[in-house]
Amino acid sequence: MRYWWVNQNRTFRHEVPGGYLWSPKKSQDGSINHFYETMREVAPGDLIFSYNATKIMALGLAERPAYTCPKPEAFGAAGANWDNVGWRVDVNFKVLLEQIQPKEHMALLRQCLPQKYSPIREDGIGNQIYLAEIPQRFAQP
């Protein structure tokens, strides 16, 4: 099992209720984006932390590997600059009743952040990325 953190500030209201993650395959300039490539690494049973509006708002289990899929029409203007075909991962999300604000727990979390490609900064604010792997020690008590 691997652990993932997805920043969904523009797409949370579509992806979590819809049961999926979606990203373009490449950046706007056509270059490879590490945080879109990670979609291809997600496997069934992987745990996904959904971050939106400064909080971990949902947890999900990946149901199948990434596959090519058209951009969801529901994204509307949120994805206006993204390609029309990208990666989709089906996820069984559960919204948390008590959402977690990482900024309030950085004394503990700071030591668990990955040194490269961290989804949040040491001050607890989210980085401008989509999907990042997080270490097991970050995800487990």
Q: What is the DSSP letter of 19?
A: T
pTM beyond cutoff 0.75: yes
Structure confidence by residue, pLDDT tens digits, 102-120: 888 888 888 888 888 999 8
Residue 112 backbone zone (phi > 0: left; psi -120 to 50: alpha; other: beta): alpha
Strand (E) or helix (H) holding 15: helix 12-18
Q: For the residues of 83-102, what is the DSSP string, one character each?
A: -SEEEEEEEEEEEEEEEE-G
Residue 124 backbone zone (phi > 0: left; psi -120 to 50: alpha; other: beta): left
Structure confidence by residue, pLDDT tens digits, 44-95: 999 999 999 999 999 999 999 999 999 999 998 887 888 899 999 999 999 9
3-state secondary structure of 138: helix
CATH architecture of 3-139: Roll (3.10)
Of residues 140 and 89, which shows the higher confidence score?
A: 89
Structure confidence by residue, pLDDT tens digits, 2-56: 999 999 989 999 999 999 999 999 988 888 999 999 999 999 999 999 999 999 9
